[in-house]
Structure 1
Amino acid sequence: MKHKILAGIIITLFSTASYASIKDKKAIRAADASISAEVDKVKAACGNASLDVKVDWEDYKKMIAANKDKLAKDNYQSQWVIAHSGQRTVATLEALSAICKDDVDYKEEIAKLTKINVTAKDDFSDSASEFSLADNALTVETGHKMSRNASDFAKKIKALY
């Protein structure tokens, strides 16, 4: 009887991990689709010849694994972290579009962007996103726990120029 219970527990654990992985994959796919649609809007608003946005999902998976106790304490699921990263990346892109529509001088500089690289902050408790600019690449180190709007990021982006 003990062996059957143990086998049942093991099967449940593996199926739960698999289920979480499927939810994460779906969240990544949804985030990537939203990001892709927003990239087209930035290119139209800012005039970028090309703009490659890369979210380092492996980095997010590592952060989630390293912070599993913090996520559990807050009853937070991994797919929520992924979804919020997608929302924050879209908000960054919306901020770029809004800046371009409002100011021709910023538009001229933002049009030179060719890459946006998005990584996860190491600490799940850190909710602030950080931005840096090098050459024609914008790096976004994304905070966690909540979504953001374009207006939350516009000032930080403008400060880079």
Structure 2
Amino acid sequence: MEHLNDKPAWTLARNPMGRLVWTGADGIEQVGVVPVRAFPLGAPDEGLSLVSPDGHELVWIDSLDAVAEPARALIAEELALREFVPEIVRLVGVSTFSTPSTWTVETDRGATTFVLKAEEDIRRLTGSALLIASAHGIAFRIHDRFGLDRASRRLLERFL
């Protein structure tokens, strides 16, 4: 295993099938590597690994900003493909103030509705951030609950 601060001699590319290929300092290629964040919600750009298909860490990266292009862009693309966490920017309405309830929201990716099964499916993160899990397993994030508009905050407070 290499450590980024040890000035590793590795490269990252995408093969014709769209899979990431990591080539180590020894010239050995690993096809199908996966970037994995250590702290995906609390510090998404700090602490991530490139992991081989068999689950072994190939390289530890302290900060994505420390990775040179084009490897940084490839890692960011792969993470975006794997991580789908829309951010709620406004609560439009809820069907009832008890659970389960259907929420209608506006996200950074468009309007949607989802079912909140239980109040326990709303998790508090660092600061004023929240993570809300829908009945179908999709995670929605609220970056700053206090930054929402007044009507959205009122609806949300009924569940916190």
TM interval, short-chain normalised: under 0.3
User: What's the TM-score, normalizing by structure 1?
Assistant: 0.25
User: What's the TM-score, normalizing by structure 2?
Assistant: 0.25
In terms of fraction of residues, the more helix-rich structure is 1
Higher relative CO (CA 8 A, sep ≥ 6), structure 1 or 2? 1
In terms of fraction of residues, the more strand-rich structure is 2
